[in-house]
Structure 1
Amino acid sequence: MAIRLTRSIVPNLLTLANLFCGFVSIIYSSNGEYTQAAMFILLGAFFDMFDGITARLVNAASEFGVELDSLCDTVSFGLAPSYMLYQAAFSTSGELGILFASFPALAGAVRLARFNVTLTSLDDKAYFIGLPIPSSALVIVSYIVFIQQSGKYDPTTVLYLNYIVPAIVSLVMVSNIKFDNMPRPTKKYIKEKPFFLIIFVISIILVILSEGEYLFPVMFFWIIFSSIKHFLHWVLSKRIPEEDLSDEGDDSFSQQYDID
């Protein structure tokens, strides 16, 4: 029987490459080689970014691809970072450490399930509801590498951060906070959102110049910035008098306050 190759083979292979990277990362974490483990999660994020791009380029986006991508993401960006967190920060913390280390994996599974059931289009999106699981993985692994490489914090501070960081990351994953997608180098995007593009470029430069050490501060700043932006939108929405809402409707409200 001949094997029939379809256009979806390339994006699906990229998705499986992401899963393979997550598997290798777990092996490195089990050996205490956290920098290498982090590098394979970063490589997995690279494959995860390009599988969707490739699928759209060859017109091979499908529900199967979405489901496969979510299954692979659960391992590479949920289980692998949680296991790395446990090995690096909680291996001597007993049951409480196991619980906190599991948060990113558990929240990531919920995040992906919600994404799949609410998916209405296979097109690229301008924003995500809740922190995307690849981004959460980058926060977790960059935090571990940052703490180990910087050596600037006393053990008590590190102990508190070990609990605070995964808790915050897990909460924003399952939240309703809007997180902008990566900036697009198009004329339309540059014209509409030049500030975000400038911040993105500066962040990339900082990460490169610091040889990856500033990836965690940059990623955490993105979480804080997006959360503040979401809160300000919520506050502004509460300032609209109820009678104005009933008279003008939701469309005029969105236009007045530029709510996405």
Structure 2
Amino acid sequence: MNNKFKRFNLSKAIIPNSFTAFNALSGFFSIVFASNGDIKTAAILIFIAGIFDAIDGLMARLVGTSSRFGVELDSLSDIVSFGAAPAFLIYKSYFYQFDWGGIILSSAVLIFGAFRLARFNVQVEDLTQKQDFRGLPIPMSAITVALFTYSFYSPETKTITDPHSYFAIPLVILVSILMISNVKYSKLPSLYTKSIKERILVLASVILGLLIVFLTGGVALFYIFLSVVLFGIFKHTVLMFSGSDE
């Protein structure tokens, strides 16, 4: 028997797996809306998929279940919501102008995301004890691309506006390469194991962040995610030159 995962329990697993299914459904809806030209809604749906993805992990810990089935289902859902959906979104919002070049560039988000998930699946041991991620997590990559599109796409011109459009290609290349890199990214703050004081601090930060996002029409959220992406590179560079393996 594999001791790395608890025995699969359908009655317990149905709770987190339901949120995983909603994750996949949100990704599919994103593709549908993007194909109909509703780019903004498609981008929002990828963000919603990210929320479901975070909740399913929390639910798995709360009900005390983790299984190979859950890992595989989560990855299959992720490849839809955070691989195919953002790839199609960025293609429909901007890269369609570059014919086959645009198709290839868009597909990088999907292909490199698949490699990222495959590497995670063969390396994962205990999901409840995972302290950091090797390579940019695919949800972070997808949501960053989705927020970029949501913030700077113009329904009137049916493309990403200048000068932000100049950063579309570098952004896609950056997140794609980071997904298969050795750059480490920490887990997002969790309320599950923190003290009351730490929970209050995290909740206050979340509320403040949501207020800033509301006041800036969502643009600030893109810069927050971009800052996290870039900070990972900065931290990796500092540790590399300091000779630390942590």
TM-score between the two structures when normalised by the length of structure 1: 0.80
For the aligned residues, what is the CA RMSD? 2.7
Helix, strand or coil for the counterpart of 1:93? helix
In structure 2, relative to structure 1, the CA distance for the partners of 1:224 and 1:197 (3 Å cut) is farther
Q: Does 1:209 align with 2:242?
A: no
Match of 1:118 in 2: 123
Q: Tell me which amino acid in the other structure corresponds to 2:100.
A: E
Shift of 1:215: 1.5
Match of 1:236 in 2: 242
Identity of aligned residues (%): 35
- Which aligned pairs between 1:1-260 and structure 2 lie closer than 5 A? 6-148=11-153, 157-185=163-191, 186-187=194-195, 190=198, 203-237=209-243, 260=246
2:153–2:161 CA contact under 8 A, matched in 1: no
- Shifted more, 103-112 versus 36-45: the winner is 36-45
Shift of 1:96: 0.8
Cα distance between partner residues in 2 of 1:72 and 1:202: 30
Larger Rg: 1
Cα distance between partner residues in 2 of 1:102 and 1:92: 15
Shift of 1:201: 6.9
1:183–1:197 CA contact under 8 A, matched in 2: no
Deviation string 1:128-169 (CA, Å, 9 cap, x unpaired) is 1111111111100101111126x9xx9664443121110001
Cα distance between partner residues in 1 of 2:72 and 2:174: 26
Deviation string 1:48-94 (CA, Å, 9 cap, x unpaired) is 11111111211221010000000110000110000000000011211
Shift of 1:187: 3.7
Shift of 1:120: 1.4
Cα distance between partner residues in 2 of 1:94 and 1:144: 19
Helix, strand or coil for the counterpart of 2:218? coil
Cα distance between partner residues in 2 of 1:124 and 1:23: 30
2:93–2:153 CA contact under 8 A, matched in 1: no
Helix, strand or coil for the counterpart of 2:94? helix
Cα distance between partner residues in 2 of 1:75 and 1:83: 10
Number of equivalences? 231
Deviation string 1:176-228 (CA, Å, 9 cap, x unpaired) is 111111123524995xxx9x999877655432332312121111111111111
Greater relative contact order (Cα < 8 A, sep 6+): 2
Cα distance between partner residues in 1 of 2:185 and 2:12: 31
Cα distance between partner residues in 2 of 1:198 and 1:227: 27
Unaligned runs of 5+ in 1: 238-256
Cα distance between partner residues in 2 of 1:212 and 1:124: 32
Q: Tell me which amino acid in the other structure corresponds to 2:44.
A: M
Q: Tell me which amino acid in the other structure corresponds to 1:100.
A: L
Shift of 1:35: 1.3
Shift of 1:126: 2.6
TM-score between the two structures when normalised by the length of structure 2: 0.85
Cα distance between partner residues in 1 of 2:176 and 2:210: 24
- Shifted more, 106-115 versus 46-55: the winner is 46-55
1:52–1:61 CA contact under 8 A, matched in 2: no
Helix, strand or coil for the counterpart of 2:97? coil
Runs of 4 or more, structure 1, over 6 Å off, are: 196-201
Unaligned runs of 5+ in 2: 1-8
